[in-house]
A and B are shown apart, each in its own frame.
Chain A
C-alpha cells in the first residue's frame, strides 16, 4: 500500500484501447437512443426482458448482440485476457448482489454510469458516485484489511 498518495500501475495502464473501447460503447449507446429511442442500460434491459416487459424483441436483440460480441471478435482475433480473482462462492455472492442491487438502484455502470452521467441526470450522478464508492471501499476491505 502506498501511504503518500495513489501509486499508478503504469504496466497495466492501457489508455488508448480503453479510450477507444469507451468511444465504441458511447457509439453503441448513441445508436440505440437515436434509432430505438432507448437507454442502453444492461441491467434494465435484462430485468425488463426477464419480466416480459414492453419492447422485448428489441431489448432481447440488443442483449443477443452483446452475447455474440466475443464470438465475432474470435473470428478476427484472439480474445483479450479474461482473468477472474474469485472462486465460486465469491462469484455467487457477487452475482446475487449485482442482480438485486442494480434492479433496486434502477441501473448499473452502463445505464447510470455512461448514459445517465452523459445526460447529467441527478439520479444517475448519485447512483454512479454511490456504486463507485462502494466498489472502492469493498476492494479496500477485501484486499487490504482482510486479505494481504
Chain B
C-alpha cells in the first residue's frame, strides 16, 4: 500500500510541476529575473503548495507514525552550518544558470528534449561526487 501511495504522490507532484509552469526553464528564469520583465507566477506556486502542505506537515510533526504505520521521518537537525548555506548557494547559482531544479528535471526527463538529459546526467554526477567526497572524509 505504501508503495502505491509513493507512486501516486510522485505522479501528482510531477503533474503539479507541469501545470504550475515550473517545468519550463524559460518561465523559471523569468521569475528569477527581477531586473527584467518579472514573471511572479512561481511565487504563487510556492504559496499554493505551502497553503496545502502546512496543515498535514504540522499534523505529521506530532505523530510518531504515518496513517499506514510507517515511522514518521522528519528532519531533526536544527543548526545552521556552513554546509547548509554553502550548498544552497551553489545550488542557487546552478538554478540561475539553467532555470532547472531537481524536481522539474525529473518531471521533464521523458518529455523528449535532449537538454534535460545533459542536465540530469551532470546532476547525478554532482550527487555521486558528493557521496564520494563524503565517504573519503569519513575514512
Residue on A with the closest CB to B48? Answer: A22
Contacts of A119 in B (CB 8 A): 54, 57-58, 61, 74
Contacts of A1 in B (CB 8 A): 35-36
Residue on A with the closest CB to B71? Answer: A37
Question: B97–A25 contact, CB under 8 A?
Answer: no
Please, how many residues of chain A have a CB less than 8 angstroms from a CB on the other chain?
A: 113
Question: Which residues of B96-128 are within 8 A (CB) of A?
Answer: 96-103, 105-111, 113, 115-116, 118-128
From B9, B20, B107, name the one whose CB has the most chain A CB atoms within 10 angstroms: B9
Given A13-B40, A67-B109, A123 contacting B52 (CB threshold 8 A) = no
Distance A106 CA – B22 CA, assembled complex (angstroms): 21
Question: A93–B9 contact, CB under 8 A?
Answer: no
| Total number of residue pairs linking A and B with CB closer than 8 Å | 495
Partner of A99, one of B23, B99, B103, B126: B126
Distance A144 CA – B96 CA, assembled complex (angstroms): 13
Report whether over half of chain A's contact residues are helix, strand or loop; otherwise say mixed.
helix
Question: Which residues of A1-15 are within 8 A (CB) of B?
Answer: 1-2, 6-9, 12-15
**What is the distance, in angstroms, from A52's C-beta to the closest C-beta of chain B?**
10
Contacts of A139 in B (CB 8 A): 29, 32-34, 96
Contacts of B109 in A (CB 8 A): 67
Question: A82–B111 contact, CB under 8 A?
Answer: yes
Question: B128–A36 contact, CB under 8 A?
Answer: no
Distance A136 CA – B43 CA, assembled complex (angstroms): 13
Question: A104–B47 contact, CB under 8 A?
Answer: no
Contacts of A57 in B (CB 8 A): 3
Question: A97–B97 contact, CB under 8 A?
Answer: yes
Given A82-B108, A101-B91, A68 contacting B70 (CB threshold 8 A) = no
Distance A122 CA – B78 CA, assembled complex (angstroms): 7
From B14, B22, B38, B49, name the one whose CB has the most chain A CB atoms within 10 angstroms: B49
Question: B102–A20 contact, CB under 8 A?
Answer: no
Distance A131 CA – B8 CA, assembled complex (angstroms): 29
Distance A95 CA – B102 CA, assembled complex (angstroms): 9
5 contacts between A and B (CB under 8 A): A65-B11, A80-B24, A84-B25, A96-B94, A96-B122
- If A82-B108, A118-B49 are given as contacts, then 17 extra A-B residue pairs at C-beta distance below 8 Å, sorted by A number, are A17-B19, A24-B20, A29-B57, A32-B5, A35-B1, A66-B106, A68-B110, A70-B108, A85-B98, A94-B97, A96-B122, A96-B125, A98-B100, A99-B125, A100-B90, A108-B103, A114-B53
